[in-house]
Structure 1
Amino acid sequence: MSTTLPRIVGKLPPENVRDRRGQPEDASTSVSIRKFSEVVRELEVDRIDLIKINIEGGEFDLLPHMMSDPMTTEIDNIQVQFHTFIKRAKKMRRAILKKLSETHKCDWCYTFVWENQSR
């Protein structure tokens, strides 16, 4: 099954981008989004001991995507920092952890700080 992933154009806040004179500068970046499983296969990774995810809210998109592929069961440890500034963060976190519990167990958890799931 083929999935079309969106093309993302991000714009950095002016206070984060400076020209050579130190003045704020408008900047945007185009990136291609690829499936996690395709990248893993392309790199010929046959085992992942630890994946550490701290992507400022992106975990709510990445983890369901990763769990939709059987290769996630081959990741020994998943460490994730869930972020609360995302709308419905608590509800989405519960759903992700419920699905993840089918293949992994919680070793430790500092809710919305860091947690580790292992298989």
Structure 2
Amino acid sequence: MNLETIKNLQTSLKALENQLINHQQNRAVVENVEGQIASLKGQNDFNLLQGIKKNLELLNGAFCDEKGLGKLNLMLHNAKIPPKYYDIFYAMLAQATPPPPPCQTPLCIDCGAHAGLISDIILHCGGRVECFEPNIYLNFFLKRKFENNKNVKIHQKAVSNKAGKTQFLTFQNRILSQGNRIVESVQDSETSGAYEVEIINLCEFLEQKEERIYLLKLDVEGAEFDILPHLIEKRFYEKIDFIVCETHEYMFENGYEKLEQIQKELQKRGVKNVFLDWC
């Protein structure tokens, strides 16, 4: 369904409403509405079948190719990564295959790791990952998943442009929600509780890394607008191969202006490896 379809349906419904108000009986108006609704239902049914077909193909590929591309494609789809970014992970497979002499496996930083779906993909591609996730409940699952994996380091901390402690806000009383955050926003009226978490200065953390970082992922529920200007000012895009970020401009009254300023700064500097439309 697109905006044009919705507008056409609104026009038809308005015509039907006027007919009912005026006690008219023009069958063509009714048939027009019925036809549009039937068309939408048919398109929805088609999309549903196509989705089922694709999922079955991905499951079949993963079953037959558990350690290879089949499993990777299912993981990428499950994590809702835009297909245009699949190559970031395909390329990691090549980097993680050591020619003589053995190379170091790619290092990735997963900020806002949540349930570890992106970290799972990084590991499948032969990388190493440091996870940042302040949610105390999600950390239970992360530790259970990765506690014996030498290629994973878990930090039960939030990331920001400063270090210290702050309140981690619970959105709509959902303790596992991706809407939980450390920043104030227009959603504060839907915040039902909070608990204290540790925060780190992400730029200072990155500056301590001597090796090159392959991927930095930011999905930090609005804190990206505190972090990104400093990352750009310190030119971390020159030290990191890919920086991907899910932005949450809708959380702020001036969120779209914040995003536009960052986009303009990246464009002015000619930065090509920072992507702000992740997921």
TM-score bucket of the superposed structures, by smaller chain: 0.5 to 0.7
Aligned residue type for 2:257:
K
- Cα deviation for residue 57 of structure 1 reads 0.7
Deviates more, 1:51-60 or 1:36-45: 36-45
Contact 1:80 1:114 in 2 (8 A): yes
In structure 2, how many angstroms separate the alpha carbons of the residues matched to 1:32 and 1:85?
A: 20
In structure 2, how many angstroms separate the alpha carbons of the residues matched to 1:8 and 1:107?
A: 28
Match of 1:98 in 2: 264
Instruction: Return the TM-score normalized by structure 1.
Output: 0.62
Q: Which structure features the higher share of strand residues?
A: 1
The question of 1:48 aligning with 2:207 is answered no
Match of 1:21 in 2: none
- Cα deviation for residue 96 of structure 1 reads 0.4
Aligned residue type for 1:16:
I
Aligned residue type for 1:43:
K
In structure 2, how many angstroms separate the alpha carbons of the residues matched to 1:51 and 1:89?
A: 22
- Cα deviation for residue 15 of structure 1 reads 5.7
Match of 2:73 in 1: none
Aligned residue type for 1:41:
E
Match of 1:16 among 175, 197, 202: 175
- Cα deviation for residue 89 of structure 1 reads 1.3
Higher relative contact order (CA 8 A, sep 6+): 1
Deviations along 1:48-78, whole A, 9 cap, x unmatched? 2221111111111110011121333222222
Aligned residue type for 2:237:
T
| Equivalent runs, 1:1-119 vs 2, <5 Å | 5=162, 7-13=164-170, 16=175, 28-34=195-201, 36-45=202-211, 47-83=212-248, 84-101=250-267, 102-105=269-272, 113-114=277-278
Going from structure 1 to structure 2, the CA distance change for 1:107 and 1:60 (only over 3 Å counts) comes to closer
Match of 1:20 in 2: none
Instruction: Return the TM-score normalized by structure 2.
Output: 0.30
RMSD of aligned Cα (Å): 3.2
Contact 1:73 1:103 in 2 (8 A): no
Give the 3-state SS of the residue equivalent to 1:114 in structure 2.
Answer: coil
What is the total number of aligned residue pairs between the two structures? 99
Give the 3-state SS of the residue equivalent to 1:72 in structure 2.
Answer: helix
Match of 2:4 in 1: none
> Which structure would you say has the larger Rg?
2
The percent of aligned pairs where both chains have the same amino acid is: 26
In structure 2, how many angstroms separate the alpha carbons of the residues matched to 1:72 and 1:107?
A: 7
Going from structure 1 to structure 2, the CA distance change for 1:70 and 1:32 (only over 3 Å counts) comes to same
Aligned residue type for 1:33:
I
Going from structure 1 to structure 2, the CA distance change for 1:58 and 1:103 (only over 3 Å counts) comes to same
- Cα deviation for residue 90 of structure 1 reads 1.0
Gaps of 5+ in 1: 18-25
Give the 3-state SS of the residue equivalent to 2:222 in structure 1.
Answer: coil
